[in-house]
Structure 1
Amino acid sequence: MDMSALSAAVEDGTIDTVIVATPDMQGRLVGKRLTARHFLESCEAGVGTCSVVLTWGQDHALDPDYALSGWANGYPDMVVVPDMATLARYAWFERTAFVMGNAVRPDESAIDVAPRTALARMLERLAGHGLRARFASELEFFLYDETPRSAHDKGFVNLTGKHATLHPETLMRTSEDEHFLGPLRNHLEAAGVPVEMVKAEYSPGQVEINLHHADAMKAADSHMLLKAAAKEIALQQGMIATFMAKPDHDLGGSSCHVHLSLQDESGQSAFAAGPDGRGASETMTRFLGGLTHHIRDIFLFFAPTTNSYRRMQPGTFAPDSVTWGEDNRTVAFRMVGAGGARRIENRIPGADVNPYLAYAAMLAAGLRGIEEGLEPVGAALGGNAYHADAPALPRTLDEATEAFAGSELIRDCFGAEFHDHYANYGRQSILAARAAVTDYERRMLFLDI
């Protein structure tokens, strides 16, 4: 949809609302619903909102120690400027359009910590090497037969899942859920988000949906719209869709495997090599070298919550060490595909990631590998990576935050403001979780101690 099409739709009454939104630190869409008339009159100026949306905690707490926004500077405004290339129908709501925006200061200067800005900066850096990135998110989530109110009234425990039995990969299970999955696929397609397929994942009530690969910013925007559609269509049907990495310790975790390929200036794969296109080019090898050498620097953006680390257990298809290999689902970085589809699959992230930050982090580390000519850590693994003698991945948010806070890579690639901002995000998230009394503690101690 372009502006002329929007104007026509507003004129004939098929669109009366325009959503302007932008991602926050946690990968949630924050935004406002504008009357379509007002949007057409004022869209170029952008939409003002409080800059707290880029500093608040996971529970929307007013966390301290952010330079961008806080009590010290009075929580100033920022402006979300629509990226008109993203204008599309928000098809699961009637008469509604959507546009993603970039967060800037009122003087139109960039906000370095804004997730879309961080990814855009890394794409500029990548272009300086004559390269272009394409990404695809492979997202998993759980469906629950609950409403936000019923889940709250239960204290978010003993929740009723959409299903109680295992039927992974079966047609029967997706047929049972087609009342939800069908509208999800079709509405996303109508919104300009190309869906490849949907399937029943391993655990009861768990779904996987794969999006078609796209240029990096488009892929990240599509990731966000998929989450929004899944959650909102579920609510319309009296359910909850959750993208927690590990909603229950008795269930499997939900991942977001990130697929990345690079193209050169002619549009050819920069990763493929050999007569069949299944070999690894020097660019692919060096990029993988950067990912494996600098994984601790960027790990915070693959596992951004305390819950993220509950998912990464041995034998669960979630990696626990710095490993890589060809078509091996037990490693952290899986090399797969041929020719134009030759790519690296990052199997570390959970479904709770912010795609802009995860993509940008992969590019930062991979580019460093290209610039420094790094070889991948260890040898390619063809067997069970859980038995490999390989460096361990961070086990806790504390460990990941400490590595991030001390990272020269992050400071060099993203700047001091960004580095300090997200190090504080990690610290504040740890403090919030540390102060919480958990259901586990009550079960263990309430009666017996």
Structure 2
Amino acid sequence: MSAEYQQIRVLWPDHLNLPRGKYLPAAVAAGGARHCITSFALNYDRYMGPVPGAGFLEGMPDLTCSLSLDDVRPGWEEGVGVVVGDLTFEGAPIPFAPREVLRRAVAAWEDRGFTPKVGYEFEAYLMGPDGDGGWKPYGAPGSFVYGTGHFNDPSGVCRDIVTQAAACGFSLESVNAEYDESQFEFTLVYDDAIAAADEAFLFKTMAREVAAERDLLLTFLPKPIADRGGNGLHVNLSFVDDSGDLALVDHAAPDGLSTLAKQCIAGQLAYLRPMTALCCPTVNSYKRLAPAQLCGYWQNWGHDHRCTTVRVNPERGSSTRLENRLADPAASPHIAAAAILTASRLGVADELECPPPETLDGLENVSCEVHAPGSLAEALDELEADETFVEAFGAETVAQFTAVKRTEWAQFTAHVTDWELDTYLPYL
């Protein structure tokens, strides 16, 4: 495989959902690469400090990134193949590395006799230079939801992304303009959980770089524009059992959903609050996560209901799935899927009772009272306080994640915003 390329780009997803890695000459790529494990202590602004497991006070030692040449796939740079690597430290998997987190969640389901299948839907805004060193929404005044063609994509960048995706072997299901101007949705075909998350991770990296080559920014920030809708990451979940049968379907049930499906829904709702920080991991996430925003705000589910956290599609068969609408695309696809799988498994293990489906509009009227946390700080509190979820998800992972995110929150609260100056400065 490596003979087809001059270089192999070895990437791995980190806790910030960034694609870290190295270019390796193809002839030596099989040996993998080494990186500083203290990368797992970094914030977006490159600040680092003591974080459990990240070696900041232990000399900042190396981790090992290994790969299989059989997994190398066509990249989006000429002569460069790309592969997602596995991380170890002193010969053991790194417990908070996103791929390892998802691998544990999948293994726990396999121990119960089920193989999880996952499909992702990304939303993103296209931005252009504002002439002052910043970014503004790319103009598409003729765009409309579910639009295609020039009026919705006058730059042609989405067509370029689709073309490049095909060349790289990505399994795109669809691409279309979303509700707001210059917003797009990218839907990937479902697959085994780890393969699907790897593909989502690489696809997002590719799409942003294709846009950047045209001096445009494809942003997956949850709420980049105050007066427009947010960007979501919908995680679609299904299972097959050891016999290859569809585990979410029971044609004898009134709604066609199996007991397993109902218990998965119950688990996702029961652990909505503790898993929010993992699925909505930035300060900005909570500008999107609000009532009447068609996201996973309320502790509810519904049949083909876009204003619920868990939406169940009406078809019963191979396409039956549980669509969790909580996450945003700032989240790691590996971590978000692992969180949802963990909550679902707890629902099954504890035989939780599924509440009735939402029948109200889900906008101004809902049939529940519990909702997602209102800030990153509140979400971190909820995560750390839920001992059952922390134990099931991985205490070392939660410790590393919350340490980094507590720093992020502290930096935010110390920052003097333009709003404060605009509002108070003339008077005080």
Class of the TM-score when normalised by the shorter of the 2 chains: over 0.9
Question: Which letter does structure 2 place at the counterpart of 1:6?
Answer: S
Match of 2:392, SS? helix
Residue correspondence of structure 1 range 31-42 to structure 2 within 5 A: 31-39=21-29
1:322–1:94 CA distance, 2 compared to 1 (3 A): same
Residues 257-292 of structure 1: CA distance to partner in whole angstroms, max 9, x if unpaired?
111111111222100111699611011111111111
Q: 1:118 to 1:446 in 2, by over 3 A?
A: same
Select the residue among 356, 367, 379 that pairs with 2:334: 356
Question: Are 1:379 and 2:356 an aligned pair?
Answer: yes
Mapped to 2, the partners of 1:352 and 1:246 lie a distance apart of 10
For these two proteins, the number of residue pairs brought into alignment is 425
Tell me, in whole angstroms, the C-alpha distance in 2 between the residues paired with 1:332 and 1:211. 20
Separation (CA, whole Å) in 2 of partners of 1:199 and 1:276: 35
Show the counterpart of 1:82: 67
User: Structure 1: how far apart are the matches of 2:268 and 2:129?
Assistant: 39
Distance 1:276 1:292 in 2: 21
The answer as to whether partners of 1:112 and 1:118 remain within 8 angstroms in 2 is yes
What is residue 415 of structure 1 aligned with on the other side? 394
Residue 369 of structure 1 deviates from its aligned partner by 0.8
Q: Which runs of 4+ in 1 moved over 6 A?
A: none
1:365 to 325, 343, 348: 343
CA drift of 1:293 comes to: 1.0
1:178 offset after TM fit, Å? 6.8
Q: Which amino acid aligns with 1:404?
A: L
CA distance in 2: counterparts of 1:277 and 1:270, whole angstroms: 16
2:74–2:168 Cα contact (<8 Å) kept: yes
Q: Once the 2 structures are TM-superposed, how far is the Cα of residue 84 of structure 1 from its aligned partner?
A: 4.2
Aligned to 2:126: 143
For 2:416, give the aligned amino acid.
V
Q: 1:325 to 1:275 in 2, by over 3 A?
A: same
The Cα shift of 1:361 comes to: 0.7
Give me the whole-angstrom Cα distance separating, in 2, the residues matched to 1:174 and 1:36.
42
Superposition TM-score, scaled by structure 2 size: 0.94
* Aligned equivalent of 1:195, options 172, 193, 203: 172
**C-alpha distance in structure 2 between counterparts of 1:193 and 1:74, whole Å:** 39
Cα deviation digits, residues 143-166 of structure 1 (max 9, x gap): 11129xx67x34x6xx24343565
**Which structure shows the higher helix fraction?**
1
Give the partner amino acid of 2:11.
Answer: A
| 1:317 corresponding residue in structure 2 | 294
Shift of 1:186: 2.2
Q: Distance in 1 between matches of 2:255 and 2:239?
A: 14
- Tell me by how many angstroms 1:19 deviates: 0.3
> Counterparts of 2:24 and 2:7 in 1: how far apart (Å)?
6
Task: Give the Å deviation of 1:172.
Answer: 4.4
- C-alpha separation in 2, matches of 1:36 and 1:446: 58
Q: Contact 1:328 / 1:383 at 8 angstroms: preserved in 2? A: no
Query: What CA distance in whole angstroms lies between the structure 1 residues aligned with 2:398 and 2:240?
Result: 29
**Separation in structure 2 between the aligned mates of residue 338 and residue 95 of structure 1, nearest angstrom:** 44
Structure 2: distance between partners of 1:162 and 1:96: 33
Deviation at 1:379, TM superposition (A): 1.7
Distance 1:212 1:342, change over 3 A: same
CA contact (8 A) 2:65 2:85 kept: yes
Aligned-partner SS, 2:92? coil
1:239 is matched by which residue type in structure 2? L
| TM superposition score normalised by structure 1 | 0.90
After TM superposition, the structure 1 stretch with the greater mean CA deviation from structure 2, 128-137 or 28-37, is 28-37
Q: Does 1:62 align with 2:48?
A: yes
Change beyond 3 A, Cα 1:275–1:84:
farther
**Whole-angstrom CA distance in 1 between matches of 2:378 and 2:294:** 21
Task: For residue 447 of structure 1, report the CA deviation from its aligned partner.
Answer: 3.5
1:124 and 2:107 equivalent?
yes
CA distance in 2, matches of 1:342, 1:320: 23
Q: 2: distance between equivalents of 1:79 and 1:186?
A: 34
The one-letter code of the counterpart of 1:212 is V
How far residue 66 of structure 1 moved from its aligned partner, in angstroms, is: 2.9
Q: Given that residues 144 and 160 in structure 1 are in contact (C-alpha distance below 8 angstroms), is that contact kept between their aligned partners in structure 2?
A: yes
Distance 2:191 2:149 in 1: 31
Give 3-state SS (helix, strand or coil) of 1:385's partner.
coil
Q: Secondary structure at the match of 2:93?
A: coil
Amino acid at match of 1:267: G
- The residue identity in structure 1 corresponding to 2:2 is L
Q: Is the 8 A contact 2:384 2:398 kept in 1?
A: yes
Structure 1: which 5+ residue stretches go unaligned?
10-14
* Residue pair 2:249, 2:316 contacting (<8 A) in 1 also: yes
Percentage of pairs with the same residue: 25
The alignment status of 1:288 with 2:269, answered yes or no, reads: no
In structure 2, the partner of 1:397 is: 376
Letter paired with 2:23: R
- When residues 175 and 381 of structure 1 are mapped into structure 2, their CA distance, relative to the original with a 3 A threshold, is closer
- 1: CA distance, partners of 2:389 / 2:153: 45
Could you tell me which amino acid in structure 1 is paired with residue 237 of structure 2? L
Contact 1:138-1:209 at 8 Å conserved across structures = yes
**2: CA distance, partners of 1:95 / 1:217:** 26
In structure 1, the residue matched to 2:2 is 6
SS in 2 for 1:207: strand
Task: Tell me which residue corresponds to 2:88.
Answer: 104
The code of the aligned residue for 1:321 comes to W
Alignment check: 8 A CA contact 2:211 2:218 kept: yes
